[in-house]
Amino acid sequence: MPRPRASRLDPERRQTLLAVAAEEFAEHGFDGASYNRILERAGFSKGVAYYYFEGKDDLYAAVLALTLDTLAQRFGAWQRPADADGFWRTLRERYFALTTHIVNDERSARLLRSMSQARTHPKLQEAWLRFEGPLVAWFQRVLADGRALGAVRGDVPESLLLTSLMGIGQATDGWLLEQWAHSGVPALQRGAEQVFSLFEDLLVPRPVGPPPAKRR
Amino acid sequence: MPRPRASRLDPERRQTLLAVAAEEFAEHGFDGASYNRILERAGFSKGVAYYYFEGKDDLYAAVLALTLDTLAQRFGAWQRPADADGFWRTLRERYFALTTHIVNDERSARLLRSMSQARTHPKLQEAWLRFEGPLVAWFQRVLADGRALGAVRGDVPESLLLTSLMGIGQATDGWLLEQWAHSGVPALQRGAEQVFSLFEDLLVPRPVGPPPAKRR
DNA sequence: GTCAGTATTGGACCAGTGGTCCAATCATCG
DNA sequence: CGATGATTGGACCACTGGTCCAATACTGAC
């Protein structure tokens, strides 16, 4: 957590510092980023830096908080749709908005991707808990709503579904970027379509009874 | 790549070094591990270390190679099953063997998990490429066989399927360990069962025609 | 205006990091 | 024996994140 006095820091200098830090962290990840370099580039001395922030991890957390706030504002809160169809429609809409956003703001995207390191990093445990909570809660609410509407399967623990969903989301995120880099925007849209269909296949309730006979 | 002379290093000392390094890397990951500490514990001076290995990354690669070799030996090569049923049976068998192995050899498991950092780490690119190749090839062969046997869907790019599968596998791996830590072996088996069913749901060919009407 | 007390600042300094380098030692062979 | 190349220890380097403190700027009370 940033020191309370951090709010008293000149907004402009604060803004500079966070921008420089965001760039550095996005470029090199948490471990790879050099705190000294950040401070030098932002024109901060060690004394000032440690006066306002507790350390490298604290600054990282501040940068992450800013990025996530922006993201949260952009996507707003989740509201329970009326029925299963509505559920999948809004979920799909959100997912496409997210992929578009990630492609358009690569710095934030790389920053967000660096979060996966944060989860296991001993010095970032505290920061991780602060962000994991809301994120997981959001997904949990979505899944719970989906179940209540019959749009999401109930035959498997919710925690497993959540884990799988986030794992697959993270993995395909990289895949989508590759598609985009190799074959441009149309491929990206096609790819997003296919990724989302995988989400559906994973979450949709299993048909009851014996598995359908192979057809063709 | 380890220097060629590395093979001339006294096997016993080499073994000591690799064991100490494995412990350190498993405990702290690549960045967190202290090369100096490893060398000190293993009784190596800087001079010797850099005489036989190119550096920290090289040693890490050596440790990883050893671990993966053991794993590969244990699981042997993949052979194309006769039919779709056989495909799922052998895949399932392999998966359960793997989860058992991971639970029984936590050091290796943590080491393998640290590989996910390696993928994005600039200093480990070379090492990653050396291990990514065979691993991905293995999965590709499995998926291709599955397709040929009609056991795996063909309506989605193979690369996407591969990415998703590995992503979900990695994510659920952590989930399984939690299950095990919280509720012991029976929960682990139940969990593995459910995880594997997710794999199936993801990979199995979609039924053709309109989605089945909701039944109950 | 003066002075006390606090907020702010710069930067010297610290232990630790991975990595380089080289003089000294050892082994081997002519 | 001497010479040549392999092997070794450890001093040293630039860098890391982090601590500390003396000097300065600012504030309000008198």
DSSP string, A116-169: HHHHH-GGGHHHHHHHHHHHHHHHHHHHHHHHHTT-S--SS-HHHHHHHHHHHH
Kindly indicate the confidence band of residue B17, based on its pLDDT and cuts at 50, 70 and 90. very high
Per residue in A110-128, pLDDT tens? 998 888 888 889 899 988 8
Q: Are B13 and B45 in contact (CB under 8 A)?
A: no
For residues B61-74, one letter each, b for 16 or more C-beta atoms within 10 angstroms of the residue's C-beta and e for the rest, the string is: bbbbebbbeebeee
Strands (E), chain B: none
Residue at token pair 């209540």: A148
B99, two tokens: 């989860």
Residues A74-86 have pLDDT tens digits of 877 889 999 999 9
DSSP state of B33: S
Chain B contact present for A170, CB below 8 A: yes
Mean pLDDT over A139-168 rounds to 95
Contacts of A179 (CB under 8 A, 6+ apart): A187, A188, A190, A191
- Is the CB of residue A126 less than 8 Å away from at least one CB of chain B? no
Length of chain B: 216
- B150 dihedral zone (left: phi>0; alpha: psi -120 to 50; beta): left
The span from the CA of B38 to the CA of B43, in Å, is 8
Judged by CB atoms closer than 8 Å, whether chains meet at A160 and B172 is answered as yes
CB A59 within 8 A of CB A30: no
Residue B210 contacts A, CB cutoff 8 Å: no
Contact residues on chain A for B191, CB-CB shorter than 8 A: 160
Q: What is the pLDDT of residues B33-49, one digit of tens each?
A: 999 999 999 999 999 99
**Residue B120 pLDDT level (bands cut at 50, 70, 90):** confident
Cβ–Cβ gap A198/B117 under 8 Å: no
Better pLDDT: B132 or A149: A149
pLDDT at A216: 39
* pLDDT higher than 60, residue B211: no
Inter-axis angle of helices A106-120 and A125-148, nearest 10: 100
User: Per the CB < 8 Å rule, is B202 touching A207?
Assistant: no
Which residues of chain B lie closer than 8 angstroms to A216, CB-CB?
208
Question: Which of A31, A166, A198 lies at the smallest CB-CB distance from B31?
Answer: A31
What distances in angstroms separate CA A72 from CA A65, A67, A189, one per listed residue?
10, 9, 23
Structure tokens at A13: 């200098």
Q: Does A154 touch chain B (CB under 8 A)?
A: no
CATH number for the domain running over B4-203: 1.10.357.10
Please give the structure tokens belonging to residue B106. Answer: 């936590």
Task: Please report the pLDDT score of residue A215 as a whole number.
Answer: 43
Distance between the alpha carbon (CA) of B17 and the C1' atom of D12, Å: 24
Cα-based angle B161, B165, B170 (whole degrees, multiple of 5) = 155
- Across the interface, whether the CB atoms of A171 and B167 are under 8 A apart is answered yes
Q: How far is CA B104 from CA B68, B74, B94, B97, B98, in A?
A: 16, 13, 15, 11, 10
Our CA-based measurement puts residue B136 at a distance from the nearest CA of chain A, in whole angstroms, of 14
